[in-house]
Structure 1
Amino acid sequence: MGWRGGAACATRARVEAKLYYRRNLPHWYPRGAPLFITWRLFGSLPRTVLELLERNKKLSEGKRFAVADAELDRASTGPQWLKQPRVAALVVETLRRGQEMKAFELHAFVVMANHVHVLLTPKLDVVRILRGIKRRSAADANRALGRGGKRFWAEESFDHWCRSEAEAARCQAYIERNPVKAGLVARAEEWPWSSARNTGL
């Protein structure tokens, strides 16, 4: 499936950039660049994995993501609220609402049992966008689950800006094929909570 993005990807030569903070460190991304973002449910990674990542701080962001994402796909521990169709639907609704309100351009998404992958091009501040998505979806999900104001999402998220349209296409494919990789479906479009199910987003 080809890249469906409407915005041009940023290149290394582009100097206009936006600063935000992750892990209390300054983090830059070029304006107009598609961002691959992953966030997870609170308590969805076992302590052994968290301790492993803490001990190996020299691991690249990519390797840290690979370790965490593989564990999340196994879904061997922690909450799996997103397996419930009504909860997954609330997350998808929040993403669609953000696009309708022009906070971002949504290129791809998938809601798994305990985490979410998205590819989007921000139109507003990234921190503000992610905070809004997580806050709204957490409130709606907790209400549906009868959990009151309990913590829903883990605070930390992973993000990576795409340097080219080819990289954006790879991220899109990674996102939409995640349920296939996890052994949940045979074809990406069979997963109901994914942009692969409806490429019109």
Structure 2
Amino acid sequence: MSNSRRPKGRGGSVFFTVCLAQRGSALLVDEIEILREAVKVTRARRPFGIDAWVVLPDHMHAVWTLPADDPSYSDRWGAIKARFSKVVRLKGGESVGWKPTLPTDRRVGFQPTEAERLRAARSPSKVAKQDAGIWQRRFWEHHIRDEADYDAHVRYCMTNPVKHGLVERPEDWPYSSVHRDMRIGRWAA
């Protein structure tokens, strides 16, 4: 059992890193519209502010500001991940770039069904929890302490595609809130 503690405060801004289970996948950018819809539906039901967000092929970073009367970011991330996973699974998983690990049983004539492939790709605990195996179970969060901390984490979101060698300038990455910030004058190219 984890000894991690999460502050039980009201609202505030929080920086997140959320990763796919299969590092090296491009599922998030390949299915960006599914992700956008999952976020849109979740925000409509449980509002939160998006201060910064960048989606990379296999992980994403975000800074959210949560309402004082409903600071549960875990529920929001759970809803986003569940909605995304459900649609990816309905689309057929492998046809959208999610490839579960195949069983190691190489018997002649053995042809695992899709259900057997999915079970083999997930641990018994993920199967019991009906986890699709698309996401890492946990995410990393950091509660913003002050304005300098906030600015540093927003900048981290914007510059992360450059750090990973995906583009030369933050504004060249299409899956980033940097474009919104440029339109409203919060980010200078």
TM-score (norm 2): 0.66
More strand by share: 1
Q: Is the 8 A contact 1:36 1:119 kept in 2?
A: yes
Aligned residues: 145
What one-letter code is carried by the residue in structure 1 that aligns with 2:155?
Answer: A
Alignment-mate amino acid for residue 197 of structure 1: H
Report the Cα offset of residue 96 of structure 1. 3.6
Instruction: Confirm or deny that 1:197 pairs with 2:179.
Output: yes
Distance in 2, Cα, partners of 1:168 & 1:29: 19
Task: Structure 2: state its 5+ residue gaps.
Answer: 95-113, 119-131, 185-189
Q: Which residue pairs with 1:176 in the alignment?
A: 158
Aligned to 2:65: 121
- The 2-side partners of 1:29 and 1:103 are apart by 18
Greater radius of gyration (CA): 2
Q: In the alignment, which residue of structure 1 is the partner of 2:101?
A: none
Are 2:141 and 1:159 aligned? yes
C-alpha distance in 1 between matches for 2:177 and 2:32: 13
Separation in structure 2 between the aligned mates of residue 31 and residue 193 of structure 1, nearest angstrom: 29
Greater mean deviation of Cα atoms: 148-157 or 110-119: 148-157
2: CA distance, partners of 1:190 / 1:143: 32
Q: Whole-Å Cα distance in 1 between the matches of residues 89 and 174 of structure 2?
A: 21
For 1:132, the aligned partner's letter is A
Cα RMSD for the two superposed structures: 2.5
CA distance in 1, matches of 2:2, 2:34: 28
Structure 1 Cα separation of the partners of residues 13 and 82 of structure 2: 22
TM-score by length of 1: 0.63
Determine the structure 1 residue equivalent to 2:18.
39
Over 3 Å counting, the alpha-carbon distance change for 1:146 and 1:190 in structure 2 is same
Q: Which portions of structure 1, spanning 4 or more consecutive aligned residues, are displaced by more than 6 angstroms? A: none
Paired letter, 1:144: K
1:18-57 to 2 correspondence within 5 Å? 23=2, 25-28=4-7, 30-44=9-23
